[in-house]
Structure 1
Amino acid sequence: MNASRFRRPPEFKLTDVAQQLVGGFLLAGPFVVTEEVWSLAGSMNAIQALLTVAVVFAIGYASLYKANDDRDVDAEQEVGGIPLRFISLMLVSFGSVTILALLFDAPDVFVSGSLMTLPTIETTLKAVSVGSIFSVVGASTADTLF
């Protein structure tokens, strides 16, 4: 008999969220203050933005549950059928970029003060989706390694 299948999975704790936060903020910072990210966001259409969000979700899921042999998605704590760890990862990934963008006043610096024609909120959401690609890598790596 395989004893590992009877092991209880580790509980998702506040320390896991803290690890995700450290990794998410660490990799989000440089992309929030990069003019190229905001220029890309300004030129993206809605489909590109949605596909970027899908990439963030795919990277997050794959890094938590496919690249890690010790973690079983079916054994995780869930909220509405979605693993709590994955929900936290998405909130941290998108949230860290949003918080830093607002703290650094990036939408006003890179959008309002430029020649971009898209509304600030739309461009900001697209820039957050781009930055979240990198934030999710940091957040999931920190969660997996520590």
Structure 2
Amino acid sequence: MSEHAAITAETGPEQVGLTFLTVAYGLRGAVDRHMRSTVGLSLSRTKVLQALAAHGTLHQAQLADALGQAPRSVTQIVEGLERLGLVSRADDADDRRRKTVSLTAAGSTTLAAAEEAGAHVLREIFGSLDPQQMKTMRSSLARLGTALTTE
């Protein structure tokens, strides 16, 4: 019996939860590897571009909050994205100690390519499910999402 089969043979909430975490980690890695190899952009950098596309120009602290990350981590990602010409940073007009971050035209183009690369992997993996499995998965994930918000 393979390690994966041994993990999924148990059906208690803890075992199913651990299997879910293992699969989610693997899925994230697959998406990240494909995005890096096809577009040259990691999933974490893509998330920064997505936040800017959704919210517009943000202060770096606001961007960190939107991503649920430490400001220092976001600063390093933003600096890398700026070197690639995907975002621009500017001094805040009211407080020169603060920087605002904006998505550039090249950033928008790269974001679209990165999102398509990620979607390709998701279509490939989740496409292995039949329609009933997909419906069950959607329902199960919605229920888990609700359980997370009620804690």
TM-score, with length taken from structure 1: 0.29
Identify the structure with bigger relative contact order (alpha carbons < 8 Å, sequence gap 6+).
1
- The structure whose residues are more often strand, as a share, is 2
**Which structure is larger by alpha-carbon Rg, 1 or 2?**
2
